[in-house]
Chains A and B, each alone.
Chain A
Amino acid sequence: MPELTLRELSVKEHRGPRLAPLDVPAEGAERLLPRERLRGEAPALPEIPEPAVVRHFVNLSVLNHHIDKAIYPLGSCTMKYNPKLNDEMAQMPGLQAIHPLQPEDLSQGALAVIWELHEWLKVIMGMPAITTQPAAGAQCELTAILMTRAYHAERGNPREEVIVPDSAHGTNPSTVHQVGYRVVTVPSGPDGCVDIGALKREVSGKTAALTACSTWTARI
């Protein structure tokens, strides 16, 4: 039988974890905020006791195939095994319960982790500088094409086209279009690599960049 939805499991007045009692004098939302800005009734979120919530998500979880169960030979992005230690380290309170705007001298551990990672990735990539700010591979591409545009614009002409191999991930043409460039597609040869002859014919003074496969800019 399929797992019910949260809405179907909800029973009015069931409650999850409770908060400690309010330890300051209660003024009431109606006194602190304009009445017309309040939503009245609480949002109709599920009302389910914790054990039932846990069972619901455990029941759903076992419907998934996942890499800890067996390999998953699919993907334009690949799913690799991650050592269990990684999660354990990332969940240390000293690395997890910290605010991004706390003073730098009280964040030296977090900054050291980021710096070490950058130093390693620079060696592995063979590049002199790095940012790990983008949130996903597709956003890395966006960052790269925006940087390309800024580079050319600073030299007086942002140019018009970006060359994308037909073997590139769908994000490549989509990103190029989002940054306002025309996509010029070059075919692959019989060996599966970019047809260099075709590429040479397409490159011109209008070309702003050639996108490589998304793995060049992928999320680590």
Chain B
Amino acid sequence: MSFVGRSEAERRVMLKQIGAESVEALWASIPPEFRVQGSLPLDPPLAEYEITRRFAQWAEANADANQYACFLGAGIYDHFIPAAVRSLLSRSEFATAYTPYQPEVSQGTLQTIFEYQSMICELTGMEVANASMYDGATACAEASLLATGATGRRVVLVSQGVHPHFREVIRTYASAGSFDVRDLPLDHGATAAAGLKRMLSPEVAAVLWAQPNFEGIVEDGAALTEAAHAAGAYSIASADPVALALLLPPGRDGADIVVGEGQPLGVPMGYGGPLVGFFSIRKSDVRRLPGRLAGATVDLDGRRGFVLTLQTREQHIRRERATSNICTNQALMALANTIHLALLGAQGMRDVATQSLEKAHYLARRAAQVPGVSLANGDRAFFREFVLRLPGPATGFLRAAEKRRILAGVPLSRFDGARPRDLLVAATEKRTREEMDRYVDALAEWARHPAQAPVQEAACRS
């Protein structure tokens, strides 16, 4: 494909118009030492059908969720995505629009952002949501920065129930010295209330917790928030948006900031990207909000229109005094969230959440009946994900399950070497009873001789 399909004759006309003798002369102002001599040592270009063939080979070298029953979760889930999401998202008018700096030619994008923000507020129980963030992890880091800025304190207590990758990102952001991170321990999978009370002090800017948390456990958001507020700290929740169709939203627990990963709302798993984060706050913090915000207004003739608003917070105006360095939103993925929520609607989202809950509990109940297998967190309430404690290395069971076309879960040894027998298992509405029964059969067979199963650590190394 050629990006600039110009004939020699057209080139001559253009050169004449701008008064240059040749293309070479046009570039004469660039000193020769800064120019690439010759061409770059890259492979020659391929024809479209050759590219398609190569990508088809790559696609075939992956185990995808259409061939395997996928019980992997840990923040990225295999939920149903209506065909209309992809169809609408692929429209050139959305997919190839520029950032909406000129509202008069961006009303489509701006209204969809406004609708996105409204629906995020409805899910989280908060008053204001921004136009989206890169992902859930950076949304947590930015929420920590907001809370430290607002309180003038520098310690953020992060529950170990927050995704381990999110915690790494928060620590990376904190490594610049802007705040300190301390871990809040878990007690049987839930954030330990006693531990929290001991760690709270006038230095603590925020308590950051997840709903449900990384091990699938439903946290007591009201108790965590009450404890944080008693110490003058912010309560920040990292919430799963599907769970919020069923669970009390953290906003109603009194949380000050509710963020999360939007992938479960119409975004394919995509080997982990692109993702999209949501970020919602109370109105009183709106001038501290990172990122973009779309608002409704009226034009000179009184007609409704949409604009980017409160831009004086943003980097292109305020430079080093901006609330954050973020200068965009994850527009297309936020649009996927918007279309997905519009299609599924109130009842559809409630159905997805309820079926995921029921199926996860069906699988957990049956799996825990296998001799030697138990639920690592006992009878703690969970949503669509739970930790199985196995009679041998979890990686061994993974290999056994793969033979039956099952991706059985995420071994927690990946994050904590002290937990070789723990497996994080998720079930969405897409998993069928047949798949789950097959899972339990595979588990029962493997559990009879768990020590003999092949253990290939390399398969699960991050």
Smallest Cβ-Cβ distance to A9: which chain B residue: B342
Q: Are A95 and B109 touching (Cβ within 8 A)? A: no
B270 touches A96 (CB 8 A): yes
| Contacting pair A64 B105 (CB below 8 A) | yes
Task: Chain B residues near A82: list those with CB within 8 A.
Answer: 96
Of A22, A104, A174, which one neighbours B358 at CB under 8 angstroms? A22
Query: Which residues 76-109 of B have a CB within 8 angstroms of A?
Result: 76, 78, 80, 82, 84, 86-88, 90-99, 101-102, 105-109
Q: Does A58 reach chain B (CB closer than 8 Å)?
A: yes
A194 to chain B, nearest CB (A): 14
Q: Is B60 an interface residue (CB 8 A)?
A: yes
Q: Which of A138-163 contact B (CB under 8 A)?
A: 138-139, 141-142, 146, 149-150
Of B12-20, B114-122, B201-209, B443-451, the one touching chain A: B114-122
* Shortest distance from the beta carbon of A141 to any chain B beta carbon, whole Å: 7
Q: Is the CB of B245 within 8 A of A79?
A: no
Contact present for B269 and A46 (CB under 8 Å): no
Per DSSP, chain B at the interface is: helix
Of the A-B pairs whose beta carbons lie under 8 Å apart in the complex, a sample of 26, sorted by A's number, is A13-B347, A19-B429, A43-B346, A43-B349, A45-B122, A60-B108, A63-B106, A64-B97, A68-B92, A76-B316, A77-B328, A81-B96, A95-B58, A97-B64, A98-B62, A99-B407, A100-B271, A100-B273, A103-B459, A135-B138, A138-B328, A169-B316, A170-B315, A174-B320, A176-B320, A183-B319
Contact B347 A42 (CB under 8 A): yes
Contact of B341 among A27, A45, A96 (CB under 8 A): A45
Q: Which residues of B contact A58 (CB under 8 A)?
A: 88, 91
B 255-276 contacts with A by CB, 8 A: 268-275
Supposing A53-B84, A99-B78 touch, asked if A93 and B72 sit within 8 A by C-beta, the answer is no
* Known A33-B357, A101-B72, A170-B316; contact A108-B61, beta-carbon cutoff 8 A: yes
B315 touching A92, Cβ below 8 Å: no
Type the 1/0 row for B341-364, where 1 means its CB is closer than 8 Å to any CB of A.
111111111111011011101100
Closest-CB distance, A8 to chain B (whole angstroms): 10
- Report the minimal beta-carbon distance from A32 to chain B, rounded to whole angstroms: 5
What band does the interface of chain B fall in when counting residues whose beta carbon is under 8 Å from A?
35 or more
B binding-site residues for A, Cβ under 8 Å: 1, 3, 40-42, 48, 51-52, 55-66, 68, 70, 72, 74, 76, 78, 80, 82, 84, 86-88, 90-99, 101-102, 105-109, 111-112, 114-115, 118-119, 122-123, 134-135, 138, 145, 172, 175-178, 218, 220, 222, 244-249, 252, 268-275, 303-305, 314-322, 324-328, 330, 339, 341-352, 354-355, 357-359, 361-362, 381, 383, 398, 402, 407, 410, 414, 429, 432-433, 436, 458-461
Among B107, B273, B458, B461, contact of A64 (Cβ-Cβ < 8 Å): B107
